[in-house]
Structure 1
């Protein structure tokens, strides 16, 4: 089942359950997917493009969550936390730290990196492999750790 089909099905269920929070998040994601398709001039996005949009939406919410936490806005923190949980349902299974470390070590050997100067080369090779399955900041930290 495609992401759009899944979103439509869950949207109907949220309407039946009168779950306004989930319904709102699903509508925002669908709008983002449609906007991306229009921007790219396509009728339908590929799975990879859909994952890119989902990842962007999740990252925006996590960044906002961090800001609201620092500002002491508990009302907004709770709302964003629920939105993040709703979005994570549609994301692929996240890699464990061990799995991620193995991918990074393999990629470092693959590109022949030996110092932190080559971090960009390693990051650009790792990120497509872990797209949607790992947080970029976690990848960045592990790459730095393994290149030092």
Structure 2
């Protein structure tokens, strides 16, 4: 079952359960998927494309959470946190720091990178290989620390 189908099924389940937070979150995801479909002229949306959408939505909500928290709007920050939790359920299992470090070390030895000047080579390969399992910011920070 594709990720898009899973999300559509989850929307129905959330409706039946009257779970407003899940329903709002999943409808937002479905909306982004439909926008992508119109951009690619009705072609089939892949799970990888849906994962990119999910990651972008989680990042947006984390940014909103930080802004609301800084302004003392805990009510809105809690809504963002709840939506993050719902959306993250559909992302692949995220790598721990130890797993990420192992993966990056393997890629560094594979590319032969020895200095910070070759950081782009490693980040590009890591972003492709680890898509959906780790945020780009974490990849960048880990590569930088290992090549420094």
- TM-score under structure 2 normalisation? 0.94
Give the length in aligned residue pairs.
Answer: 148
Q: Any idea what SS the aligned residue of 1:65 has?
A: helix
| 2:112 alignment partner in structure 1 | 112
Within 1, Cα distance between the matches of 2:73 and 2:135?
Answer: 24
Within 2, Cα distance between the matches of 1:119 and 1:107?
Answer: 11
| 2:45 alignment partner in structure 1 | 45
Within 1, Cα distance between the matches of 2:90 and 2:137?
Answer: 20
Structure 1 runs, 4 residues or longer, greater than 4 Å off: none
Q: Any idea what SS the aligned residue of 2:137 has?
A: helix
**Per-residue deviation, 1:30:** 0.3
State whether residues 36 and 53 of structure 1, in contact with CA within 8 Å, keep that contact through their aligned partners in structure 2. Answer: no
What is the CA RMSD across the aligned residues, in angstroms?
1.2
State whether residues 107 and 125 of structure 2, in contact with CA within 8 Å, keep that contact through their aligned partners in structure 1. Answer: yes
Moved more, 83-92 or 48-57: 48-57
Residue ranges of structure 2 left out of the alignment (5+ in a row): none
Within 2, Cα distance between the matches of 1:70 and 1:37?
Answer: 36
Within 1, Cα distance between the matches of 2:113 and 2:69?
Answer: 38
| 1:67 alignment partner in structure 2 | 67
| 2:2 alignment partner in structure 1 | 2
Q: Any idea what SS the aligned residue of 1:58 has?
A: helix
**Per-residue deviation, 1:82:** 0.2
Residue ranges of structure 1 left out of the alignment (5+ in a row): none
- TM-score under structure 1 normalisation? 0.94
